[in-house]
Every structure is written in C-alpha cells, then in structure tokens.
C-alpha cells in the first residue's frame, strides 16, 4: 500500500507543462506583424493566404515576397517558482525560419488570383534549469543533517511550418471571396527532469547517498495536418468589412509519430522500512493527434486622409480534453506489469476571444509607419495545477499583450519592411513548478507546492520583409 501511495504521489508531483499556449504569439508576414495581426479586412499582400484568402482578390499584380529569418528573444522569471526564495529564470533566443510566397495574376483570368506560400505559422521555446543545495534533517533514520540536493530542468520547443495555396475571385468591384488550404507539420521536443538526493555527511564530507527520487519525461512529437480556410471581403469607398473562417485541423497519418519515455527511480528509507522501485514507461512510433479550434475572425478597415485603421475580433472554440498519442505505453515496476493505465499525453483548450487593432500612417511619399496592439490570451490557463494533472506537455498559463511597430519603404516595384513585436505577460498566485527549499520525506524529498509565485515574461520578435512586384 505504501508503494502504491508513493507512486501516486510521484506521478502527481511537479508535472510541468512556459510560452506554448497562445494562438496569437506569432504572426505571419512582416507587414501583418507590424499591424498587430489586425488585417482580416485590410491585408494587401501575400499573407492574405493566412489571414483572409478573400483579400487575395484585390491584389492587382504578380509578386514574390521574401521574409528573412525572424529573431526571437526574451526572458521568463517565476518568483518563488522552485521554492521559497528560489526563482525560475530563463533567457532565450531563437531564429525562426523565414517565408517565401508569391502571387500569380493571369490576363486570361483577370478576376482570379492564385497565391502560394512556404511559411512558419507558430513557434515557441522555453528552457530553464534550477538547483538547490543545503544541509537539512530530512530522514528520521539518520541522526543529524543530510546534504540535500535538488534539481528541476525543463525544455520545450514547439514549431509549426507549412505550405499554403490559396485562390480568390473578385465579384464585381466590391466583393472578394477566396479559399486556402495549408499542409502543416507540427513538431515538439519536450524534456522534464526532477530529482533530489539526501546524502550522509561525515566530518563535513559527503559519505554516501541515503535517499533519492527522480522523475524524467521525454516527448518527441510530430504530426501532419491539413487546414482549410474560407474568407470574404466587402469593399466600399472608405471602408472594408471582412469575415474569415478557419476549420479545425484534419489529421494525416503521413509523418505523424511520437516517442514517449517516462522513468521513475525511488529509494526512500522510512522509520522501520524503505521503499525502492523503478518505473519505466516507453513507446515509440506512436500514432499522434493534433487538434485545433474552429476560428472565426471579423475585420473592419477605415481609410482616412493620411492613415488607415484596422480592427479584428477572433473567436476560438473550445478544445475538449484528448490524448495526443493513441497507442498504449505500458508501465512496469522492476520489470513487472503493475496494471496502471496507459501513459497519456493530454491537451485541451478553453474558449478564447482575442482583439487586435493596427494602423498605417503615411509619413511621406513612399515611407509609412505601421503599428498595432493585440491581446494574446492563454488557452491552457485553466489546466490542472501541477499537483493534480497528468502528463500535459506544456506549462504556460499567463496572458500576453503585444505592441508592434515598424516602417515600410515602398517604390513602384519594391516594398521593404522592418519592425518588431514586443510582448509582455504577468501572473501571480499560481502553484510552484516544484519546491526544492522545504523538502520532506513524506513528499519524496520535495516540499509541498505553494501559491506565492509571481510570473513575468518579456519577449521580442524582430522582423524583416522584402516584396518585389512584377508584371
């Protein structure tokens, strides 16, 4: 019974899932990024294949657009995140692959527009490690203090790349309708390691390890999906109205697999007995599922004398809880099947409504300023706390707020965009990821989680875009 209790405590302890759960964390296209993504009605370049294929109908010339790699960096701080007075800190930097896209106009089909794009539609990177070492009396079976050493490491990299094709038809002078289809590959590499040891101290030296506990989890995930969109733009003299609908992802078996490992090692001496066991759960070439919400975006554009204003409201439906890997992963304790349920890699999402606003201001002929702002609410904000949840391969719970700005230089044939997207997030009162400062034997050499945390995130994307028009 004690062994079953210990196993249960360990599996419910400190399972972590940092920026991984925001639909609008990354925008597509340099111009659209500078506008805060508020371009459902006002998108005028090839990123319309992503934001609203109906707007492709109003592109008048064939063109090719090149996005250089976007530079991404930031800092995450969780005060008391690993124990009382022990903060979690992460400074991260990444280069996100650029995009290439093109639009084809045909004299034989003047009302039709065809666009293709190879692009990155989402990217996230969180990585940190925290340690604590101190002298403390944890084990009743050993008189005096032991040298306690605890460590918590977390890494999660997620990326979504795809190929898109879109087409649109201009109906009359005012209406454009279009559809687009994306072939998307989602990849994730996740790692968590949580371990602690209590070591005997003799004559101020470490003699031997008296107790230890360790949990390690690895996930390598890949899935291939199709995404369909349909959109419409209605254009008047000084304004536009737009609707874009994105269907949930359709999973494909091609390139869809995962490898999952979970290892638990434990040796804890109690008053008159001890517990020692190893649990290994492993699976490779597992079938994968990736779900996304139905997304409905409404957009509005207002054209003024020297500026153009855009607004967007986007509704994301709920994603019910589901298992991202569908083949069983059987557990063993010391080589013996103990009848536990299969290891599940769960995910889910709440309903989200995001808003965005952006503007273009003409500085002089050929040079304009673009800026915007948007909300970026977290769809996994209400996931179970680390003490209660199973394996959710994500940990972020904070909302983000984005400010964007940049300039666009335009000639008859060439557009050059340079700008940045800055985001900040804050949260407090969440459970710690782990407690390495108040360990007890009852909690398997870790402390009980408290809610005296404060989370701060700051991140920035630097974006460069180049577009060339040709006849």
Higher pLDDT: 386 or 134? It is 134
59's enclosing H/E stretch is none
Burial of 26 from C-beta contacts in 10 A (0-12 / 13-18 / 19+): buried
Q: Are 211 and 268 in contact (CB under 8 A)?
A: yes
Length of the chain equals 471
pLDDT for 16 = 30
The pair of three-digit structure tokens given for residue 204, joined into one six-digit string: 């101020």
Local structure of 438: helix, strand or coil: coil
- Residues 256-276 have pLDDT tens digits of 889 888 888 888 887 666 667
pLDDT classification of 445: cutoffs 50, 70, 90: very high
Average pLDDT for 114-132: 91
Strands 250-269 vs 205-235: parallel, antiparallel or unpaired: antiparallel
Average pLDDT for 122-151: 90
pLDDT classification of 368: cutoffs 50, 70, 90: very high
Decide if pLDDT at 419 tops 90.
yes
188's enclosing H/E stretch is strand 175-202
Architecture of domain 2-470: Beta Barrel (2.40)
pLDDT classification of 5: cutoffs 50, 70, 90: very low
Average pLDDT for 418-425: 94
pLDDT classification of 14: cutoffs 50, 70, 90: very low
pLDDT for 8 = 38
pLDDT for 13 = 34
- Residues 22-65 have pLDDT tens digits of 998 888 888 889 999 999 999 988 899 999 999 999 998 888 88
pLDDT for 251 = 94
Local structure of 50: helix, strand or coil: helix
Cα–Cα distance for residue pair 197/41, rounded to 1 Å = 58
Rounded to the nearest integer, the mean pLDDT of the chain is 87
Q: Are 156 and 18 in contact (CB under 8 A)?
A: yes
pLDDT classification of 171: cutoffs 50, 70, 90: very high
pLDDT for 125 = 86
Decide if pLDDT at 466 tops 90.
no
For the ranges 106-110, 170-174, 249-253, the lowest mean pLDDT is seen at 106-110
- Residues 209-228 have pLDDT tens digits of 889 999 999 999 999 999 99
Decide if pLDDT at 9 tops 70.
no
pLDDT classification of 384: cutoffs 50, 70, 90: low
Q: What percent of the chain has pLDDT over 90?
A: 56
pLDDT for 272 = 62
pLDDT classification of 129: cutoffs 50, 70, 90: very high
- Residues 290-325 have pLDDT tens digits of 999 999 999 999 999 899 999 999 999 999 999 998
**C-alpha triplet 429, 432, 435: angle, nearest 5°:** 140
Q: 36 φ, ψ to 5°?
A: 70, 20
């Amino acid at each position: 019974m004690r062994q079953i209790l210990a196993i249960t405590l360990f599996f419910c302890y400190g399972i972590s899932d940092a920026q991984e759960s925001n639909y609008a964390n990354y925008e597509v296209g340099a111009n659209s990024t500078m506008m805060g993504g508020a371009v459902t009605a006002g998108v005028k370049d090839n990123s319309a294949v992503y934001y609203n294929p109906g707007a492709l109908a109003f592109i008048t010339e064939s063109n090719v657009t090149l996005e250089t790699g976007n530079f991404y960096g930031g800092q995450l701080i969780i005060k008391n995140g690993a124990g009382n007075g022990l903060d979690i800190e992460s400074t991260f930097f990444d280069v996100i692959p650029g995009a290439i896209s093109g639009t084809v106009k045909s004299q034989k089909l003047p009302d039709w527009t065809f666009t293709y794009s190879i692009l990155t539609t989402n990217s996230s990177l969180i990585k940190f490690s925290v340690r604590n070492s101190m002298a403390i009396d944890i084990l009743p079976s050993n008189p005096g203090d032991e040298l306690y050493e605890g460590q918590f490491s977390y890494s999660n990299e997620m990326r979504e790349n795809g190929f898109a094709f879109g087409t649109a038809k201009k109906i009359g002078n005012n209406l454009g309708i279009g559809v687009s289809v994306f072939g998307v590959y989602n990849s994730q590499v996740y790692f968590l390691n949580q371990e602690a040891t209590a070591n005997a101290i003799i004559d101020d030296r470490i003699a031997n390890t008296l107790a230890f506990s360790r949990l390690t989890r690895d996930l390598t995930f890949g899935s291939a999906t199709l995404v369909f969109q349909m959109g419409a733009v209605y254009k008047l003299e000084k304004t536009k109205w737009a609707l874009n609908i994105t269907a949930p992802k359709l999973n494909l078996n091609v390139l869809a697999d995962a490898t999952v490992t979970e290892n638990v090692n434990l040796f804890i001496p109690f008053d008159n007995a001890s517990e020692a066991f190893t649990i290994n759960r492993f699976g490779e070439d597992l079938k994968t599922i990736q779900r996304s919400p139905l997304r409905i975006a409404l957009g509005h554009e207002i054209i003024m004398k020297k500026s153009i204003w855009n607004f967007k409201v986007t509704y994301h439906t709920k994603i019910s809880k589901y298992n991202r890997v569908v083949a069983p992963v059987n557990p063993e304790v010391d080589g013996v099947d103990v009848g536990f349920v299969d290891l599940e890699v769960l995910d889910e999402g709440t309903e989200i409504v995001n808003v965005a606003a952006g503007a273009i201001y003409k500085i002089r002929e050929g040079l304009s300023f673009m800026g915007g702002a948007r909300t970026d609410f977290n769809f996994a904000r209400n996931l179970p706390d680390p003490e209660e949840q199973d394996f959710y391969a994500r940990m972020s719970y904070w909302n983000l707020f984005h400010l964007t700005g940049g300039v666009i230089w335009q000639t008859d044939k060439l557009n050059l965009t340079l700008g940045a997207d800055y985001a900040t997030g804050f949260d407090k009162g969440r459970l710690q990821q782990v407690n390495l400062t108040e360990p007890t034997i009852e909690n398997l050499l870790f402390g009980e989680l408290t809610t005296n945390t404060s989370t701060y995130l700051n991140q920035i994307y630097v974006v460069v875009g180049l577009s060339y028009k040709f006849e």
